[in-house]
Chains A and B, each alone.
Chain A
Amino acid sequence: MIEYNRKLFLVVDDFTDFRAALIGMLRQMGVNDIDAVGRGEEALALCRRNQYDVILHDYNLGGGKNGQQVLEELHHRRLLPPHCVFVMISAESSQAMVLAALECEPDSYLAKPFNQASLQQRLDRLIAMKTTLRPLLEAHHEGDHARVLEACRQVIAAHPRYRPQCQRYLVMALGGLGQHGEQERVLRDLIAERPVPWAMLALAELYRNSGRLDEARDTYEEGIRQFPRVPAMYDGLAATALAQGDPEQAQDYLQQGLRLSPNSLRRQETMGSLARRNRDHEQAARAYRQAVELGRHSLFRNPENHLNLVSSLHAQSDDGTLSQRQLVEIRQTLTELDRTWRDDPALAVRSRLAQAQTLRRTGQEDEARRLTDQALEQLQEMPGFFSAEAAMQVFTQLDELGQSQRAQQVLATCAEMYGDDPQVMDALARHTDDPDILAAGSEALEWNRQGILQYQQKQYAAALELFRRAGAAQPRNISFALNTAQSLLRLISREPSADLVRECRACLQRASQMPADDHRRERYLKLCDRLEAQ
């Protein structure tokens, strides 16, 4: 028997009548503690304060965040206790929403209308399961993979009916521990016993991430043959085709996934970037338009979608003219961008340049020039710099606006900051053939490479000299600055020196210019901590 009188419940539905009916059912079951609200934002606020045992959440709340967006945010901000049961309630058959986000599934879907008996049957089952899985769920919540493995084996032995649930956690934990061989073996065994979509997806992804692209492709294709209605299979197949150098095929696959499940923000973003790359600007504009729409209440909203929508609309017309409808859409999109991210100077520059491009297309040359000058002034004063990808877009914008000299400067800075990343250099080479930009860093790169070798052999003093040389040649390069700082910290820990600490602080100050979403930020923060600890 489950002691419902000791459970804390949250009910989220925009219809007061439905809330009252649901609360009535819960009271009949013996539940005493029930919070009930009508909006997703309120639910999130309550979850910050309380640890709910059960959340019953309506999917479609009329306005604001929907159930999926609330669940994503609850997961992302880690607001759910590991044993919490989250049930998504919906008037429509659940399938369309199931597909919206496979990464972030609720524990169960319940279709309206339902009676008390079926609600209780479902909750009894879910609570019993989570109670049994509790050691496993807690270990998973804490990211303790080894403990997850142990708990999985124990639960499977004692409660074979929960084997399918345990196996998912087991596979995740093996991945977390880096035991990919074992992970592959477990997944192959599972599939041999009985193929299920998640296991085929996990195996294919494992292949893809380890560069076994042919095997990945075969597995996705087999997955689609067996489960033709699982959109994530098409996502994976598209990513594989792209990795194999066939972006057009990739767009085709992704299109099939979108047909099954258009409500995924990430899928629309991927489609936008693929279509753009394939110069299919109509498709790109459609995808980015959807992404802007889907992102409006989402935690994962992304200003790049606004800018990409505008540039896709610009690119749609060969002769440069824009229809009245396109002009309205561009204006609305940029207004929303400026309003939503008003404190981001890099976005302000890009938004202004996009406006200037639009004005130029409508023949308002003077006004366009005025805005371009404003943007260039902001660019001058901007702290930090764009991400590599954004820098290349700014280059294209400035180039189109007749500012080729400033455009080249942006590329040069980009090469200096990110030039140690071969993918960035490849992309740069598609925008310019200026040897001053493309080859400027090659000497510094070689010093950096040798520095890394010395560092690996624990020759920190020699490594430092090489990193210093690289850094002197390209002072804005983030990796060189981080490498110098790391070598300095090694030497400081051996023999404290105020000079070296000062130098290290200056290096980290240079590295702090990286964009907020740069993959090296974590490393940077760790180095800052270590410096503080000196």
Chain B
Amino acid sequence: MMNHQDPGPEFSAILASTIHDIKNSLSLMMQNWEQWLARLPPEQAQAGERGVIEYEALRLNGMLMQMLGLYKLQINELPLQPDWADVEALLQEQLARHAEILQARNISSSCHIAGPELFVLDDTLIGSVIGNVINNSIRYTRSAIRLSATTDDGMLLIRISDDGAGYPEHMLGRRGQDAQAADLVQGSTGLGLYFGQCIAAMHQRDGHQGYIELVNDGELGGGEFRLYLP
């Protein structure tokens, strides 16, 4: 007879609960940081390190959120709550979340809506996908980030474009649900892409599925992340 050992709680569950705690303490750290900044004289408060600290904190938070999201997706506990959402407000909110960093790095940002004002999607999940892409673009862009929403063949197309050097060749192209999680080894960029393609694929309508696509020579000449939602 096989000797069964008690496997204990699953490792991924331990990981998930730890990520939770890390997220909480990161959140508390950043709140205290903001309070401290408010008390500093302006010349010290505007020091270059501020941007780095805030950017890295948002990046950390984004990665933790994605890991939790993927964990929940894996155990089938990431519920999708699609409803009519205001597309512009959705994009503006993600820019607002990065307002300080964009300013500190002298990156200009813009938001263009040419498609429908309202669209059916899960605004929490789509918001976090867009936030992660903006965060990633901040790292690679030179001077600008552009958000836009249009329609393409009946699908909502959200584009996050920058004027940086673009994505590496092997990352380009369309990713649907079947795409491999191979990019995970690419660190935070890969994690963000995988999370994005999972969330996009969860959005379905009449047999059509959402997907993401990476292109270069986008609207601002650099990399462009495209999110298609049915």
Interface residues of A (CB under 8 A from B): 15, 17-18, 20-21, 24, 91-96, 98-99, 109, 111-115, 117-118, 120-122, 125, 160-161, 163-164, 194-198, 226-227, 229-231, 259-261
Name the distance in Å between A68's Cβ and chain B's nearest Cβ: 15
Chain B residues lying within 8 Å of A226, measured Cβ to Cβ, are 204-205
**How far does the alpha carbon of A197 sit from the alpha carbon of B204 in the complex, in Å?**
13
Of A20, A96, A112, A121, which is within 8 A of B92 by CB? A121
Name the distance in Å between B122's Cβ and chain A's nearest Cβ: 9
Q: Does B99 contact A (CB under 8 A)?
A: yes
**How far does the alpha carbon of A227 sit from the alpha carbon of B31 in the complex, in Å?**
37
Closest to B69 in A: A93
Of A20, A164, A260, which is within 8 A of B77 by CB? A260
Q: Does B24 contact A (CB under 8 A)?
A: yes
**How far does the alpha carbon of A125 sit from the alpha carbon of B76 in the complex, in Å?**
32
Q: Does B49 contact A (CB under 8 A)?
A: no
Cβ-defined contact, B96 with A121, below 8 A: yes
Chain B residues lying within 8 Å of A163, measured Cβ to Cβ, are 84, 118
Cβ-defined contact, A93 with B86, below 8 A: no
Chain B residues lying within 8 Å of A114, measured Cβ to Cβ, are 97
> What does the 1/0 interface line of B92-127 toward A look like (CB < 8 Å)?
110011011000000000000000011010001100
Q: Does B68 contact A (CB under 8 A)?
A: yes
Chain A residues lying within 8 Å of B31, measured Cβ to Cβ, are 17-18, 21, 113
**Given A94-B124, A227-B82, A229-B81, 12 other A-B residues pairs in contact with their CB atoms under 8 A:** A17-B32, A24-B34, A24-B38, A92-B23, A96-B72, A117-B96, A121-B96, A125-B86, A161-B86, A161-B117, A164-B118, A259-B76
Q: How many residues of B contact A (CB 8 A)?
A: 43
Name the distance in Å between A194's Cβ and chain B's nearest Cβ: 5
Chain B residues lying within 8 Å of A259, measured Cβ to Cβ, are 76
Whether A117 contacts B97 in the complex (CB less than 8 A), given A15-B28, A194-B120, comes out as yes
Name the 5 nearest CB pairs between A and B, nearest first.
A164-B84, A229-B79, A21-B31, A117-B99, A117-B96
Closest to B31 in A: A21
Q: Which parts of B99-157 form the interface with A (CB within 8 Å)?
A: 99-100, 117-118, 120, 124-125, 128
Interface residues of B (CB under 8 A from A): 20, 23-24, 26-28, 30-32, 34-35, 38, 57, 61, 65, 68-69, 72, 76-84, 86, 89, 92-93, 96-97, 99-100, 117-118, 120, 124-125, 128, 204-205
Cβ-defined contact, A115 with B100, below 8 A: yes
**How far does the alpha carbon of A122 sit from the alpha carbon of B96 in the complex, in Å?**
10
**How far does the alpha carbon of A121 sit from the alpha carbon of B89 in the complex, in Å?**
8
**How far does the alpha carbon of A227 sit from the alpha carbon of B23 in the complex, in Å?**
29
Chain A residues lying within 8 Å of B125, measured Cβ to Cβ, are 95
Closest to A262 in B: B77
Cβ-defined contact, A196 with B82, below 8 A: yes
Number of residue pairs across A and B with beta carbons under 8 Å? 114
Closest to B103 in A: A117
Chain A residues lying within 8 Å of B28, measured Cβ to Cβ, are 15, 17-18
Cβ-defined contact, B97 with A115, below 8 A: yes
Cβ-defined contact, A21 with B124, below 8 A: no
Chain A residues lying within 8 Å of B83, measured Cβ to Cβ, are 164, 196-198
**How far does the alpha carbon of A321 sit from the alpha carbon of B86 in the complex, in Å?**
60
**How far does the alpha carbon of A230 sit from the alpha carbon of B204 in the complex, in Å?**
14
Cβ-defined contact, A95 with B81, below 8 A: yes
Closest to B85 in A: A164
**How far does the alpha carbon of A115 sit from the alpha carbon of B72 in the complex, in Å?**
26
Cβ-defined contact, B93 with A122, below 8 A: yes
**How far does the alpha carbon of A126 sit from the alpha carbon of B90 in the complex, in Å?**
13
25 A-B residue pairs with Cβ-Cβ distance under 8 Å, sorted by A, are A15-B28, A17-B28, A17-B31, A21-B34, A92-B68, A93-B65, A95-B79, A98-B79, A111-B65, A113-B30, A115-B97, A115-B100, A118-B96, A118-B97, A118-B99, A121-B92, A122-B93, A160-B117, A164-B118, A195-B205, A196-B82, A197-B81, A197-B82, A226-B204, A260-B79
**How far does the alpha carbon of A118 sit from the alpha carbon of B134 in the complex, in Å?**
14
Chain A residues lying within 8 Å of B77, measured Cβ to Cβ, are 96, 260
Chain A residues lying within 8 Å of B204, measured Cβ to Cβ, are 226
Chain A residues lying within 8 Å of B26, measured Cβ to Cβ, are 113
**How far does the alpha carbon of A18 sit from the alpha carbon of B25 in the complex, in Å?**
11
Chain A residues lying within 8 Å of B34, measured Cβ to Cβ, are 21, 24, 115
Chain A residues lying within 8 Å of B27, measured Cβ to Cβ, are 18, 91, 112-113
Chain A residues lying within 8 Å of B120, measured Cβ to Cβ, are 194, 196
Closest to A27 in B: B38
**For A94, A111, A261, which residue has the most chain B Cβ atoms within 10 angstroms?**
A111
**How far does the alpha carbon of A117 sit from the alpha carbon of B23 in the complex, in Å?**
20
Closest to A18 in B: B31
Name the distance in Å between B85's Cβ and chain A's nearest Cβ: 8
**How far does the alpha carbon of A93 sit from the alpha carbon of B120 in the complex, in Å?**
20
Name the distance in Å between B18's Cβ and chain A's nearest Cβ: 13
**How far does the alpha carbon of A164 sit from the alpha carbon of B86 in the complex, in Å?**
10
Cβ-defined contact, B79 with A261, below 8 A: yes
Chain B residues lying within 8 Å of A195, measured Cβ to Cβ, are 205
Chain B residues lying within 8 Å of A111, measured Cβ to Cβ, are 65, 124
Cβ-defined contact, B89 with A125, below 8 A: yes
Chain B residues lying within 8 Å of A93, measured Cβ to Cβ, are 65, 68-69, 72, 124, 128
**How far does the alpha carbon of A161 sit from the alpha carbon of B124 in the complex, in Å?**
19
Cβ-defined contact, A115 with B99, below 8 A: yes
Name the distance in Å between B224's Cβ and chain A's nearest Cβ: 24
Chain B residues lying within 8 Å of A96, measured Cβ to Cβ, are 72, 77, 79
**How far does the alpha carbon of A198 sit from the alpha carbon of B84 in the complex, in Å?**
11
Chain B residues lying within 8 Å of A24, measured Cβ to Cβ, are 34-35, 38
Chain A residues lying within 8 Å of B128, measured Cβ to Cβ, are 93
Chain A residues lying within 8 Å of B97, measured Cβ to Cβ, are 114-115, 117-118
Chain B residues lying within 8 Å of A261, measured Cβ to Cβ, are 79
Closest to B80 in A: A229
Name the distance in Å between B154's Cβ and chain A's nearest Cβ: 11
Closest to A94 in B: B124
Of B35, B84, B86, B117, which is within 8 A of A20 by CB? B35
Cβ-defined contact, A99 with B96, below 8 A: no
Whether A21 contacts B68 in the complex (CB less than 8 A), given A197-B83, A260-B77, comes out as no
**How far does the alpha carbon of A466 sit from the alpha carbon of B83 in the complex, in Å?**
56
Chain A residues lying within 8 Å of B32, measured Cβ to Cβ, are 17, 21
Chain B residues lying within 8 Å of A21, measured Cβ to Cβ, are 31-32, 34-35
Name the distance in Å between A119's Cβ and chain B's nearest Cβ: 8
Chain B residues lying within 8 Å of A118, measured Cβ to Cβ, are 93, 96-97, 99
Cβ-defined contact, B89 with A229, below 8 A: no
Name the distance in Å between A140's Cβ and chain B's nearest Cβ: 19
